[in-house]
Structure 1
Amino acid sequence: MNALVEVTAASRTHGTVQVLAPTSLCLGAGQGAAVVGANGAGKSTLLRLVAGTDTPTAGTVTVLGLAAVDARLRRRTQVSRLLGAAPTYPDLTVAEHLRLVEVAWGGHHPGPGVDEALAGAHLERVRDQYPGELSSGESQLFALALTLYRPAALVLLDEPEQRLDAVWRDVARRLVLAALDRGRTVLAATHDPGLRDALADRGPVVELAAPAR
């Protein structure tokens, strides 16, 4: 298996506090992995290491054949991430944000189209609303749909289920599984047992140790 993501005994320490214990992970094309553990176990830290926005204190993190910090610059079109609030423009509607992604890809976006993507995310009703007009749940689904609309090989998600009720969590799970079905690699930190189980069918579950109290 050619690894898109390879984490080898990577750890992160801030001062004297270890925020991520040594962790290893290998993911190939089309695989999914769930990162689980208690709050403070280092789930978000691991995703930042893979995203290349942070560096390991020890160990290595390789993404798309490069050190993650280099892949962040040289492979940026191949990685899509939702590690916080999605970057949005206040004067563009929900649908216009997706169209902007299509334009950015020079007309070579492989699909689905904007209407199909919004329908899949149950966001047709708010297609002409602005980001600031959405409810917290709608904002989260919009952020997830926008992240997945980029045709990147690797998708990084930090708790994509947050602020979603049971019905919309099911929608979020289906969106993630659809990305896997299209051959994309997904690494997601989650507290949602349903998403964990769905990803466990597609790859490893990385269970991080609870932090010392």
Structure 2
Amino acid sequence: MYIPQPYAETREDELHRILQAQPLGVLVTQGSGGLDANHIPFLLDATPGQPTVLLAHVARANPVWQTGPNGQEVMVVFRSVDGYISPNWYPGKQETHRRVPTWNYEAVHAHGRMVGREDAKFLRGVLARLTRHHEASQPVPWKMGDAPADYIDELLQHIVGIEIQVTRLEGKRKLNQHHTTADRQGAIDGLTESGKTALAAAMRDVAPL
């Protein structure tokens, strides 16, 4: 990923925040048929003192877990907030007209080595953790025990676990950092009026006004 210095995000906690806030990643693999991409929700396991891993599961019928030997190098792309920036929002445009449209966004690329996991204990653990994480905001969180045991056992036969040991994280936050304070405020105001409040908040965070 091309990352000009003003847009580079290297803080581990911030990279983890983006992964956890937007867990649907694009798993990119290289197989005999060329490049392949699968959209998969991941769970980040960043236990202190342990290797950082991404956990997920896919349908057994999905060939992604067999595209290469265990330990193959892969990349997972996570995209966070994004949106179009109109030059009309910049006060500087009214003065010189030397402003152009752009697109602001946050993204993280996780590089690592992938292993397919078929053991039931691992699968149950991943499913339980994913469920707890995503059901946490529900008034009455669903849990695996709510479904009949034989039904869960049957479903487990049709999925395979994915474990990616992360070797490198690349982060990019392209949020108008190189613009003047007035132009950044103008873009933030324009985004807010357009309902893109999350992107506006990210712009305030990366370069406080």
TM-score, length-normalised on structure 2? 0.21
The structure in which a higher percent of residues are strand is 2
Larger Rg over CA atoms:
2
Greater RCO structure (CA 8 Å; 6+ sep): 1
TM-score, length-normalised on structure 1? 0.21
